[in-house]
Structure 1
Amino acid sequence: MDKLQAVEERVAHLIRSVDELSEVVARQDAEIRRLSRFVGQLVEREADREAAQGSIPLADQRPPHW
């Protein structure tokens, strides 16, 4: 095997690795976006629940040691 062929094989392997990693990053980005929307919905739901009870939202309450 000559040096050029060895380099071509390594480049092909690296290209495949980069493509695979790009797919992983794209899937992770989609999952992070989905989870961020879900957390936002949970925060809104909790704020609505606290408002319906007429209590001070937990985020606005002073810690017990104050």
Structure 2
Amino acid sequence: MQDLEERIAHLTRTVEDLSDIVARQSKQIDVLERRVAMLMQRAAEAELDAGGTVPLADQRPPHW
């Protein structure tokens, strides 16, 4: 019986540790998504300021 209690305690701690890791990664993903959105907006504004009519992301590559 004590062996089972030790295993349960170990598994409980592992689950809590993994939960903390997932929560931290979720926050990091949110920050990275905001940064990517800001960078995409800056790039789009820079393309418009440069006088481009079609955003670079929408243009076909020259080898097509």
TM-score band w.r.t. shorter chain = over 0.9
Q: How does 1:28-39 map to 2 (within 5 A)?
A: 28-39=25-36
Unaligned runs of 5+ in 2: none
Q: Structure 1: where are the runs of 5+ without partners? A: none
What displacement does 1:53 show? 1.2
**Identical aligned pairs, as a percentage?**
54
Paired position in structure 1 for 2:46: 49
The size of the alignment, in residue pairs, is 63
2:60 is the alignment partner of 1:62? yes
Q: How far off its partner does 1:45 sit? A: 0.4
1:62, 1:8 → 2: CA distance? 62
Structure possessing the higher radius of gyration over alpha carbons: 1
Q: Runs of at least 4 residues of structure 1 off by over 2 A?
A: none
For the aligned residues, what is the CA RMSD? 0.8
Identify the structure with bigger relative contact order (alpha carbons < 8 Å, sequence gap 6+). Answer: 2
TM-score normalised to structure 1 length: 0.89
- In structure 2, C-alpha distance between the alignment counterparts of 1:13 and 1:62, rounded to whole Å: 55
